[in-house]
Amino acid sequence: MADEYVLPLKVIEKYKAELKDLRSNGRNDIAEKIKEAKSFGDLSENAEYDEAKSDQAKLEARIAELEYMLAHATVLDESALTTDKVETGLYVKVEDKTYNETDVYQIVGSPQANPIENRISDESPIGRTLLGHKVGDHVIVEAPTGNIELVVLEISKEDIN
C-alpha cells in the first residue's frame, strides 16, 4: 500500500462511515453467525463455522485497510485545483501516439481507481507520468507492455468525454 492517499473529503467521509458500520454492525453480525454456527456442534466438520470465520477474516482485513487508508489520507482540496497542469482529481484528455487513439482519464487516489471507468491511480504508470504536465506536453510512459507516447490535449475539472 502507498504511504499517502490523496482523496476528496466526500470519499474520506464515506470511508469513515463504512469503517464505523463495519466496526459495530459488521462485527456484531459476524459474532452472531459464529455463535449460531457453534450451536451446530462439532467445529472440525462445521462448514457454517468455517464460512463465518472466513467472513470474519475478510471483515477484519477490510477494517484494517480502511484504518490504514484513513491514517494516511490527505484531503484533496478540489477548490484549489487549477487546470494549468495535471493533478490528482482532474480529468486529462490525451492523444496516444503509440496506439493512435484519444483517451480521457481522471487521475484519482489509488483507492478510487477503476480502469474500466478510466479512473486511473496517481500511482499507476500513466497517472504518475502525467502528473505535473501541461497541455501540449509530450510524455513517454514506461508501462509493463512497453513505452507509450502521449500528448496532453486538455485538462479539466469536469469530465471531458
Q: How confident is the model at residue 96, as a pLDDT?
A: 94
Distance of alpha carbon 70 from alpha carbon 42, whole angstroms: 40
Q: How confident is the model at residue 88, as a pLDDT?
A: 93
146 close to 95: Cβ distance less than 8 angstroms? no
The residue whose grid cell reads 492523444 is 95
Residue 3 banded pLDDT, cuts 50, 70, 90: low
pLDDT in tens, 69-119: 999 998 988 888 899 999 999 999 999 998 899 999 999 998 899 999 999
Please list, residue by residue across 61-94, b when 16 or more beta carbons sit within 10 angstroms of its beta carbon and e when fewer do.
eebeebeebeeebeebeeeeeebebbbbbbbbbb
Pairing of strands 138-143, 146-156: antiparallel
